[in-house]
Amino acid sequence: MHSATVAQLSLGLQQGRYSATELARGLLERIARAQPALNAFISIEADSAMAAAAAADARLAQGGAPALTGVPIAHKDIFCASGSRTTCGSRMLANFVSPYDATVVERLRAAGAVVLGKTNMDEFAMGSSNETSYFGPVRNPWDPGRVPGGSSGGSAAAVAARLVPAATATDTGGSIRQPAALCGVTGIKPTYGRVSRYGMIAFASSLDQAGVIARTAEDAALLLGAMAGFDERDSTSVDRAVPDYRAGLERPLAGLRVGLLKEFFEHGLDPAIDAALRVALEVLRGQGATLQEVSLPNLPLSVPTYYVVAPAECSSNLARFDGVRFGHRCEQPRDLRDLYERSRGEGFGAEVKRRIMTGTYVLSAGYYDAYYLKAQRVRQLIAEDFNRAFAEVDVLIGPTTPTVAFGLGDKTSDPVTMYLNDIYTIGANLAGLPAMSIPCGFVGGLPVGLQIIGAHFAEQRLLNVAHRYQLETDWHLRAPEAYR
Amino acid sequence: MAAAWETVIGLEIHAQLATRTKIFSSSATAYGAPPNAQANLVDLGYPGVLPVLNGAAVRMAVMFGLAIGARIAPRSVFARKNYFYPDLPKGYQISQYELPIVAGGHVDIVLEDGSTRRIAVTRAHLEEDAGKSLHEGLPGITGIDLNRAGTPLIEIVSEPQLRSAREAVAYMKKVHTLVRYLRICDGNMQEGSFRCDANVSIRPAGAQEFGTRAEIKNINSFRFVEKAINFEVARQIELLESGGRVVQETRLYDPDKAETRSMRSKEEANDYRYFPDPDLLPVVLDDAFISGVAAQLPELPDQKAQRFSTQYQLSGYDAQVLTASAELADYYEAVVRELGGSAKLAANWVGGDLAAFLNRDGLEITASRVSAASLAALLRRIGDDTISGKIAKDVFEAMWDQRQEADEIIAARGLRQITDDGPIEQAIEAVMAANPKQLADYRGGKDKLFGFFVGQVMKAMQGKANPGRLNELLKRKLGG
């Protein structure tokens, strides 16, 4: 049952072939067994999960329950859930119990999903390897010596290891797609504004977007449909109807115009990954898609642009963690300054501090124009590059990451090397575009991700391309040996 | 020496907008609730919460902009002003920086000599208020009350065109009148709903360049504004004349000691690291919205004063006094309406006796102990010669103190004016008999003694004689 998809579980539950309680119990056991090896969870919420499963069974018995009723999922520990510890992977919030629900949490609960726990993540979603978590690194289920990617490393590892069929995640610069690629699962970051950010602890507000990590595009479509939509509590959420994502999955790819991102296939891409991608592209061509190379000349500026904008916003967003109202407070503060300095000094890890300092610097008087303002202009240029490209093609395709999963500790000593891991994913965040990563092969026994980027609100098209690809391939069905 | 210096003042007025809920959350804004009873998760800056702009606050800011003839920005942007303080829950204040909602505009003030000055307004922007730190009754700790956090404010920034403390007060009063006319601010200064920062500098008379300024923070009464500026000007003059120099700094006014003192210097000032708030969309206002608000603006103080001058033939001074608040103007117009005329008489009473009693008891016009209808009834009795204007003052005082109608008091006290010749003549004769020397002097040519006889007769008749009849009869009798 642990290898069943959301779609299969939904059907089985509705048909009464098994109960939500059985499912939850089985997966909770599996999670507990895997936890010492993977550390994919920060909180395993067995009691509330069993209660929710019992409620789901009652609802199922009545008939007419929504499709996700009884389906077990996990939330990235960045989403506030009422009565649930919500740590954001930080010592700062290690004991923070949220008094309210994020919109994503509320909507998935209303849709009937049963939450088994909160997944591990890089501290405040800042990281690409899940090594910055206060709760320790997550291990890649394909190779415990390697990272699962980040920041949604816990969600990706949990889905890859068949601990849950799907999990929520967030993506500010690649935090859904990069771990999905490194763990061999399917991840979608929707258009900025498609899913409400209310209750999702902010890292960089203009880039943060909630999405899904699942094993199949169909499952991603199911969950995204339940999460998406306008929310008056988030001014940046967009008031636009949510299509039935599942309904568009089967559309044939004949006539699909695929753009190959020239800049992504150039420098620094592992030739083995390049080769895997070329094979995948042939699968799409075989289904009637046409391929053409597309150049986005400003795209190589994504990383420096991102590492100005994101830290700037984070330096301000994280100012509220001051030891006054919630979160970590130092022992016996001498005065106000001491309270601030020690509470924040003790509560935040090195990477978070690095970004707060970078962000404070780029917003400072005398530097604002040279850094923040210039970065915003470049961001606009990158967005315009994408707009031009989408006049010619329907989707853009390229690698999700330059390499497969790297070893734990390999990149922790040099932040810039770590940042370059997001080189292919950041562009979509800067331009607010929807993007997916799907498994498209293996290099040295480790999964490779194929990235599909669409125009604003083209989630349905992305899911359709991914689904058609998954009908022809079985990369997404492969499970790490230890977790089959 | 003092004449050699020119004072330069610019004011930043903070007016709390009279919205029901906060600018970015659904918490109530009412004053006086127990600490933190009106602070929800958004106001507390909880992880994950987001601000949602209150449209009523935007509308009020637009009203203000239109009322001062300013440009309403078709697109304005909220920015974060970043600094750490315990009563600032998010670690930043949401304000407007580069693109405020209101730019330009002006406020006309009337000076003591009756002349008018036009003061330019640089900008007015929307922002949220911070909370309050509490120290009283909390030894060794600081309490935080976030009820005020997130209350909508409009910050109105003037050009440095004010030249004296009195001008600054006149400007502040005019803005106060305006926001109350618009009903966008309750104007309550004790509760902090209307307060200002004053930027004060001096320069040699005739100089073009500005001197170094000091900013006096958070002054919450007209009286304090005048005192604080006067103190500060004197301090700066003394500094410069003794060879010192003014340093740019923030100062606090201490009303108990009637002095300003340094809070922090420019070097210690925060770098606020303003940047556009990514949680909020730009505020985009189209012409239809703006003209819709314009169409619903009430009559403004200057317009009303102009109308009063022509419609009621009042002096500019009377018109100013009577339009100082919309409520006072409404009261005045109600009196005139009841009376069906006598606009000048009504103006004298509303601007005179009534204003004096309100002032004495510290009451607003809306809490007047004599209603417009009751005052009109009193004035009607002057008009129909039932009582004299002098008696009317006593009647008014009784109306105020005892909350009775004029006619009741006139009847109960027998104050009805006597117009019959008989009793008046009797009183005149009695007075003449009692004052033979004065009578002889008068008849001997001392005309001035006529007034003495008027007074004596009035006194004898407890002031009730009709002054006109009395004069006529007295002349005849004294003439022999």
Pairwise CB contact (< 8 Å): B41 & A99? yes
Choosing from A175, A237, A343, A437, the catalytic residue is: A175
- The verdict on a CB contact (< 8 Å) between A235 and B82 is no
Q: Chain A: give the shortest CA distance to residue B78, in Å.
A: 13
* Average pLDDT of span B353-359: 94
Question: Within this chain, do residues B142 and B246 fall inside the same structural domain, yes or no?
Answer: yes
What is the rounded distance in angstroms from the CA atom of residue B423 to the CA atom of residue A407? 119
What structural domains and CATH numbers belong to chain A? 6-253+471-483 (3.90.1300.10), 300-375 (no CATH)
Mean model confidence pLDDT for chain A: 97
**Between chains, do A98 and B47 touch, taking CB under 8 Å as contact?**
yes
For the stretch A150-184, pLDDT in tens is: 999 999 999 999 999 999 999 999 999 999 999 99
**Chain B residues within an 8 Å CB radius of A86:** 47
Can you read off the two tokens belonging to residue A14? 């509705």
Same domain? For B262 and B205 the reply is yes
CA-based nearest residue in chain B for residue A339: B86
Contact A112, A122 (CB under 8 A): no
pLDDT tens-digit series, residues B87-119: 999 999 999 999 999 999 999 998 878 788 999
Residue B90 contacts A where some CB pair is shorter than 8 Å:
yes
State residue A239's pLDDT score: 97
Residue B358 shares a structural domain with residue B455: no
Number of domains observed in the structure of chain B: 3
Question: Which chain B residues have a beta carbon less than 8 Å from that of A100?
Answer: 41, 46, 49
- Selected for mutation to probe chain B from A95, A314, A322 (highest B CB count within 10 Å) is A322
Q: Is the pLDDT of residue B322 over 60?
A: yes
HEC string of A190-250 equals CCCCCCCCCCECCCCCCCCEEEEEECCHHHHHHHHHHHCCCCCCCCCCCCCCCCCCCCCCC
Angstrom distances, CA of residue B64 to CA of B11, B106, B121, B179:
16, 11, 11, 7
DSSP string covering B254-305: ETTTTEEEEEEETTTS-----EE-TTS--EE--HHHHHHHHHTPPPPHHHHH
Does a structural domain hold residue B68? yes
| pLDDT, mean of residues A218-225 | 98
Please check whether residue B165 lies inside any domain of the structure: yes
> Do residue A235 and residue B52 have CB atoms under 8 angstroms apart?
yes
Contacts of A372 in chain B (CB under 8 A): 275
Q: Are residues B407 and B442 in the same domain?
A: no
Q: Which helix (H) or strand (E) holds A62?
A: helix A46-62
- Decide if pLDDT at A273 tops 60: yes
Q: Is the pLDDT of residue A385 over 80?
A: yes
What pLDDT is attached to residue A96?
97
Place of tokens 């005020």: B148
- In whole angstroms, what is the distance from residue B432 CA to residue B473 CA? 13
**Which chain A residues have a beta carbon less than 8 Å from that of B52?**
232-235
**Among B412, B444, B470, residue at a domain's last position:** B412
- Interface touch B273/A198, C-beta < 8 Å: no
Q: Which DSSP string do the residues of A314-358 spell out, in sequence order? A: HHHHGGG-SSSSSS---SS-SSHHHHHHHHHHHHS-HHHHHHHHH
Pair (B398, B447) in one structural domain:
no
Task: Give the confidence band of A235 by pLDDT, cuts at 50, 70, 90.
Answer: very high
Distance in Å, alpha carbon of B185 to nearest chain A alpha carbon = 26
pLDDT in tens, B109-167: 988 787 889 999 999 999 999 999 998 888 888 899 999 999 999 999 999 999 999 99
Instruction: Say yes or no: B367 and B428 in one domain.
Output: no
Q: Is B150 on the interface with A (CB under 8 A)?
A: no
Q: Choose among A79, A234, A340: nearest Cβ to B84.
A: A340
Mutation target to probe the B interface, by most B beta carbons within 10 A, among A86, A205, A235, A338 is A235
Whether B279 sits inside 8 A of A236 (CB atoms) is yes
CB contact under 8 Å between B275 and A96, yes or no, is: no
Residue B43 shares a structural domain with residue B107 = yes
Q: Is residue B286 part of a domain?
A: no
Please say if A413 is a catalytic residue: no
Q: Residue B3 — very low, low, confident or very high, per pLDDT cuts 50/70/90?
A: low
Chain B residues whose beta carbon lies within 8 Å of the beta carbon of residue A204: 278
Which of B376, B392, B412 is the C-terminal boundary of a domain?
B412
- With tokens 């289904």, the residue in question is A287
Contact list in B for residue A202 (CB cut-off 8 A) is 47-48, 279
**Are B363 and B221 in a shared domain?**
no
Which of the two residues, A1 and A338, has the higher pLDDT score? A338
Q: Is the pLDDT of residue A268 over 80?
A: no
Is residue B283 situated within a structural domain? no
**Least confident interval from A199-213, A306-320, A464-478, B462-476:** B462-476
Distance CA A72, CA A84 (A): 17
Name the least confident of A266-280, B361-375, B456-470.
B456-470
Chain length of chain A = 484
Q: Which residues lie across from B236 on neighbouring strands?
A: none
Q: Does A61 touch chain B (CB under 8 A)?
A: no
- Specify whether B408 is located in the same domain as B425: no
Q: Which residues pair with residue A97 across a beta bridge?
A: A85
Per-residue pLDDT for B4 more than 60? yes
ipTM for this prediction: 0.96
pLDDT mean over A373-390: 97
| Best residue of B23, B44, B49 to probe chain A, by most A CBs closer than 10 Å | B49
The CA–CA distances, whole Å, from B386 to A114, A341, B338 equal 87, 80, 18
Query: Quick check: is A206 catalytic?
Result: no
Instruction: Measure the CA–CA gap between A321 and B47, rounded to whole angstroms.
Output: 8
| pLDDT tens digits, A92-130 | 999 999 999 999 999 999 999 999 999 999 999 999 999
Q: Which chain A residues are closer than 8 Å to B53 by Cβ?
A: 235
The reported pLDDT for the residue numbered B480 is 66
pLDDT tens, B218-229?
A: 999 999 999 999
DSSP summary character for residue B418:
B
Peptide bond into A196 cis (omega under 30): no
The minimal CB distance from A100 to the residues B41, B142, B278 is found for B41
Q: What is the pLDDT of residue A247?
A: 94
SS3 state of residue B453: helix
A315 touches chain B (CB under 8 A): yes
Tell me the C-alpha distance between A142 and A148, whole Å: 9
Residues B38 and B140 in one domain: yes
Specify whether B360 is located in the same domain as B453. no
How many residues does the structure list for chain B? 480
* B291 in any annotated domain: no
Considering the domain architecture, whether residues B221 and B318 belong to the same structural domain is answered as no
Give B322's contacts (C-beta < 8 A, 6+ positions apart).
Answer: B305, B308, B314, B328, B329, B332, B347, B350, B351
Q: What is the mean pLDDT of residues A266-278?
A: 90
Mean pLDDT value across residues B269-297: 96
Which of A233, A316, A336 faces B86 most closely, judged by CB atoms? A336
For residues B15 and B253, what is the distance between their CA atoms, to the nearest angstrom? 19
Active site residue A175: yes
pLDDT tens-digit readout, B248-280: 999 999 989 989 999 887 777 789 999 999 999
The domain boundary residue, chosen from B363, B395, B412: B412
pLDDT of residue B317: 84
In a domain, B257, yes or no: yes
**pLDDT of B17-38, one tens digit each?**
999 999 999 999 999 899 999 9
| pTM of structure | 0.91
Residue A114 CA to residue B159 CA, distance in Å, equals: 61
Q: What is the pLDDT of residue A419?
A: 84
Residue B285 lies in a domain: no
Token pair recorded at residue A449:
């991700």
Compute φ and ψ for B421, nearest 5 degrees.
Answer: -65, -40
- Judged by phi (left if over 0) then psi (alpha if -120 to 50, else beta), residue A162 lies in left
Instruction: Enumerate residues 6+ apart whose C-beta is below 8 A from A422.
Output: A128, A173, A174, A178, A303, A306
Examine residue B220 and state whether it is found in any structural domain, yes or no: yes
Distance CA(B266)–CA(A215), nearest Å, equals: 58
- Distance CA(B431)–CA(B409), nearest Å, equals 28
Question: Cβ contact (<8 Å) for B275 and A315?
Answer: no
Of all residues in chain A, what percent carry a pLDDT higher than 70? 100
Chain segment A37-77, per-residue pLDDT in tens: 999 999 999 999 999 999 999 999 999 999 999 999 999 99
Structural domain harbouring B119: 2-271
DSSP annotation of A370 reads I
Predicted confidence at residue B2, as pLDDT, reads: 47
Tell me which of A19, A43, A76, A437 is the catalytic residue.
Answer: A76
State the Cα–Cα distance between residues A136 and A155, nearest whole angstrom: 14
What CA–CA distance (Å, rounded) separates B379 from B385? Answer: 10
